Amino acid sequence: MIDLSLLPDGGMAWLDASGPGSHLVLSTRIRLARNLATYTFATRNNLADREAILRDVLQAARETVSLRNALNFRLDQLERVDRQLLHERHLISRELAGIEESATVRSGAALLVQDRVGVMLNEEDHLRLQGLRSGFDLEVAYQEVDRLDGELGQRLPFAFHSEFGYLTSCPTNVGTGLRASVLIHLPGLVLTKEISKVLQGLAQVGLTFRGLYGEGSEVVGNFFQLSNQTTLGKTEKELLDHLGKMVRQVIEYEEQARAVLLRDVPTIIEDKVWRAYGLLRHARSVSFDETMNLLSGVRLGVGLGLVDQCGMYALNKLLVHTQPAHLAALEGVRPEDPDLSVRRARFVRALLEDEAGRRGQSP
């Protein structure tokens, strides 16, 4: 089992709930897709090419400030549970982790990570540079990944076309290669049934949404990842400004929805929030999906000032550590352990009790 404590703040500095707007926005992520001009793309290359790409990038990375002390994970040499752990930490994509049913991990797949930036290697593109920040922080997330891009681009020949820009394996990523996403919690819009209107509106202005774990994942616990759909024909700044503007709009809608709920149905909301808290505080067996939905209720309660027995940091900690591979690692069992739901309930109870005690209150 890999030791995630090696990562700064266990690799979850971005989830520490300290960033701007963190009562609604968990994290901001920006990725830049890049390929080396000297090798064929992922669908047409072989293991020797992928090994050569790894070697070239590792050598260049050692000379950069952004990645000179990076941890290097060879995913094709890690057990499935470890790959799942890195995926649950949002450090690698589902595809790179190779954790789909019947999927295998691609030979040569690797991750470099240092502080809040990293590179996925031999994913759909040779390099997927990524920057992660806690809260809603597009500007700084971009600055960090842009610096990494500059440092690597000076040392490696990226595939670039004077008209089309950075060349990618899939034409949907060509141009800037930039995908910015904001992970946001929208229970108010879901409860007031405004969410479909908002998501349709976003689609009309060129934005898209995904579930908790990005591409190909489902929406759980009212968490949505909002991101730009197109990557070409606009500058990086224009893409980020547009997404930022729209996210601020969504935050405003969510806050309005919460105000309406508190004004019109305060008892129903209070009941919902406390039932969620009560279940988490006392349940003896709870699945991951149910945990996520209950945590969503408690998070809403904390955001509305109805629940002061726990803080956002504790909720984020629960969000991370109740995921199957994380919980299994904590408990020293396999993710498919039959008692995992019982262990999860016990873990949640203990953490919430401790948190309530620390805050000097008992419900």
Partner 1 sequence: MRCTQCHEREAVVFLTQIAQDQVIKLHLCERCAAEKGVETTASLGKTPVGTFLASMGKGLESGAALPAGIDPSGACPTCGATLSDFRESGRLGCAECYRTFETALRDLLRRLHGSSRHLGERYAPPGAPAAESEAARVAQLRDQLRVAVETESFELAAELRDQLRSIVGEG
Residues of the shown chain interacting with partner 1 in the complex, contacts defined by CB under 8 A: 35, 37, 39-44, 101, 124, 153-172, 174-176, 178, 190, 193-196, 199, 211, 216, 218-219, 230-236, 238
Residues 6+ apart with CB under 8 A from 37: 157, 158, 159, 160
CB closer to partner 1 out of 126 and 343:
126
| CB 147 to partner 1: min, Å | 12
CB closer to partner 1 out of 233 and 278:
233
CB closer to partner 1 out of 216 and 266:
216
Report the alpha-carbon distance of residue 51 to residue 22 in Å, rounded. Answer: 40
Q: How far is CA 59 from CA 124, 144, 178, 263, 358, in A?
A: 21, 20, 24, 59, 47
The DSSP call for residue 308 is -
CB closer to partner 1 out of 11 and 297:
297
| CB 192 to partner 1: min, Å | 9
CB closer to partner 1 out of 79 and 238:
238
Tell me the two tokens of residue 41: 């793309």
CB closer to partner 1 out of 7 and 156:
156
> Would you put residue 175 in left (φ > 0), alpha (ψ -120 to 50) or beta?
left
CB closer to partner 1 out of 173 and 322:
173
Sheet (strand 178-185) strand order: 71-74, 110-114, 117-121, 127-134, 25-34, 178-185, 223-228, 207-210
Alpha carbon 17 to its chain's center: 13
Residues 6+ apart with CB under 8 A from 235: 176
| CB 286 to partner 1: min, Å | 19
| CB 219 to partner 1: min, Å | 5
| CB 264 to partner 1: min, Å | 17
Query: 244: number of CA atoms within 13 Å, CB side?
Result: 17
CB closer to partner 1 out of 32 and 307:
32
Task: Tell me how crowded residue 282 is: count the other CB atoms within 10 A of its CB.
Answer: 11
Report the alpha-carbon distance of residue 38 to residue 158 in Å, rounded. Answer: 8
Task: Tell me how crowded residue 1 is: count the other CB atoms within 10 A of its CB.
Answer: 12
| CB 106 to partner 1: min, Å | 14
| CB 109 to partner 1: min, Å | 17
Report the alpha-carbon distance of residue 183 to residue 214 in Å, rounded. Answer: 9
| CB 270 to partner 1: min, Å | 22
